[in-house]
Structure 1
Amino acid sequence: MVSAQLTQRGERGERTRARQRARDWAEIQERMLVPLYEAVYDRLEVGPATSVLGLGCRSGLALLLAAARGAEVAGLEPEAELRELAQDRSLRVLSDVYREIAPPRGAAHTLVTAFEHLSCTADPPALVRDAARLTTRGGHVALATWGPEERCESAAVLDVARRLADPRRSAPYAPFALSAPGALESLIDSAGLRPAGGGRVCCPYAYPDLDTALRGVMSTGVFDPAVEFSGERQVAKEITETLYPWVRTDGSVRMENVFRYVLAERVR
């Protein structure tokens, strides 16, 4: 009986932490990538004639921005807490089951985006193939990842996720794995898509104070394996230490980062 009660308390605690992290993402971290979203939408002239599908759309800010331009939007998000926040924003966001979105006779989206999901998924080629399948002929896929590591001041913070995770993991966190020249283009080619341009976008990570910065970066989910292996206290301690060089005299925190996006067209 005692063991069952402890298990239930642990599960409730995990759910509470998951909900808090999702709120931190929506309230703190999500806005950091707005320049990236807008750059893609401007480049493709997203508007009333566009049907956007966001893969790994999290709490849905990118979809809200597309909807504000008149686009029809939908999303897929595997994390229940983030999906619920997106649904609370009156967005059509379902679990990560592609058959829930794709109609029986083929794709129906003129733009499929992978803004955050690509650098976290265990199988990027499969994600890009799915994106291509869900895109109409003549439509576009937009992929995004971190820019060159030397242009991203958040690199040291992200390295905590690798250092404190279980070293026996078969696929350690590697946020810059797709940042090398040609990496995204190779994914596009293997999915049968045609390159259609791209660019780099400055996306500073800016926070009013150190505590908010810690909550923001931990809300990304990339530190979860490190928390599981090393404990939340240790992970938070080391993240805070890596943030100190970016604390300004007024107590705010700002890290300059560059993100890269590529566009691809489905031609068949």
Structure 2
Amino acid sequence: MASAQGTATRSERADSSTRARDWAEIQERMLVPLYEAVYQRLEVGPAGSVLGIGCRSGLALLLAAARGAQVAGLESAPELRELARGRRLRVLADALREPADPDNPRTAYALVTVFEELHRVEDPQRLVAGAATAVLPGGHLVLAGWGPAERCESAAVLEVAHRRSAPVPDRDPFALSSPGALEQLLACAGLRPAGSGRVSCPFAYPDLDSAVRGVLSTGLFDAALEYSGEALVTKELVEALHPFGRTDGSVRMANVFRYVVAERPR
């Protein structure tokens, strides 16, 4: 029995590590237009500081660092956190529980970003309230998420994750896409609105295999994989991706992501 449990644990870890690498190597770049749009709007540069909450393998932080900003991140998944640290980024699992880094004593930032974490947590309001406490007076908090489902071709593909998960309410990636939803989270955290925007973020892959690996790496299919098994989920995912295939074998889905900016009063 102990041996079987050990094997299962090693298999789960291997799957998590593989999907973390697929995220870093395939999927993460799809959101570069979103990251850059936010940084350009807020003029992130050498005088700035950025904290990425749910930073995953850290590409958004790398882009901010390339602009000269001081950066740090929080990421709960150990495999992704390890990849971010491999990029020489300061990324913690929990800033409140891990020992302080004497070389990086900062605890509040000019910009705090939540690019990809809102649809992963059970209580988005609690996440936003915590994020707001890490913003310097006069600084900004940015929340981002999927745009309207009708503007996102990937919605048809994400439906596989919903259909193949356990028959209990799951986290809808479009739950916060309705007008005013992100703004309400910020208002409840005591922040004042400072603008918003929509950004085109097409998901483009050189081939079907890369598309499957990239989509599975988002974490949105984890519950479906656990409940229905990888073989069935992958089969239905391939079918869902088929309409977005091109004659050269590549796959492309047009998507829109939305972000909102709020300012912490001085």
Same fold (TM over 0.5): yes
CA deviation map 1:208-250 (0-9, x unaligned) = 0001000000001110111111111111111111000000000
Residue identity matched to 1:146 = W
2:238 maps to 1:240: yes
Query: Corresponding residue for 1:13?
Result: 11
Q: Percent identity?
A: 66
SS of residue in 1 equivalent to 2:72:
strand
1:156 aligns with 2:172: no
Unpaired runs of at least 5, structure 1: none
Residue 189 in structure 1 maps to residue 187 in structure 2 = yes
Who is 1:115 aligned against? 115
| TM-score for the superposition, normalised by structure 1 | 0.95
Report how far residue 98 of structure 1 moved: 3.7
CA distance in 1, matches of 2:131, 2:4: 42
Tell me whether 1:210 sits opposite 2:229 in the alignment.
Answer: no
Q: How many residues align?
A: 263
Q: Could you tell me whether the CA contact under 8 Å between 1:165 and 1:229 is conserved in 2?
A: yes
Distance in 2 between residues matched to 1:68 and 1:245, nearest whole Å? 37
Q: Which moved more, 1:56-65 or 1:9-18?
A: 9-18
Give the conservation status (yes or no) of the 8 Å contact 1:114–1:144: yes
2:107 and 2:217 map into 1 onto residues whose CA distance is 32
The Cα shift of 1:13 comes to 1.0
1:119 partner SS: helix
Does structure 2 retain, via aligned residues, the 8 Å contact 1:29–1:216? Answer: yes
CA RMSD of aligned residues (A): 1.6
Using structure 2 for the length normalisation, give the TM-score: 0.96
Q: 1:87 to 1:166 in 2, by over 3 A?
A: same
Task: Identify which of 34, 37, 54 aligns with 2:52.
Answer: 54
**What amino acid does structure 2 have at the position aligned with 1:236?**
T
Please say if 1:222 is aligned against 2:220: yes
Contiguous gaps of at least 5 residues in structure 2 = none
How far has the Cα of 1:118 moved from its partner? Answer: 1.1
Cα gap change, 1:38 to 1:128, in 2 (>3 Å): same
Structure 1 residues 48 and 122: CA distance shift in structure 2, 3 A: same
**Structure 2 SS opposite 1:11:** helix
| Distance verdict in 2 for CA 1:100–1:257, change over 3 Å | same
Runs of 4+ in 1 over 2 A off after TM superposition: 96-103
Deviating more after overlay: 112-121 vs 36-45: 112-121
Give the equivalent residue in structure 1 for 2:127.
127
CA deviation vs aligned residue, 1:4-33 (integer Å, no higher than 9, x gap)? 112111111111111110000000000000
Tell me the distance in 1 between the aligned counterparts of 2:208 and 2:144. 27
Q: State the alpha-carbon separation in 1 of the partners of residues 159 and 94 from structure 2.
A: 27
* Counterpart residue number, 1:89: 87
Note if contact 1:58-1:82 (Cα within 8 Å) is conserved in structure 2.
Answer: yes
Output the amino acid matched with 1:123: D
In structure 1, the residue matched to 2:25 is 27
Q: Distance in 1 between matches of 2:190 and 2:96?
A: 19
Where 2:118 maps in the other structure, the secondary structure is coil
Q: Any conservation in 2 of the 1:54–1:63 contact (CA below 8 Å)?
A: yes
Deviation at 1:96, TM superposition (A): 3.2
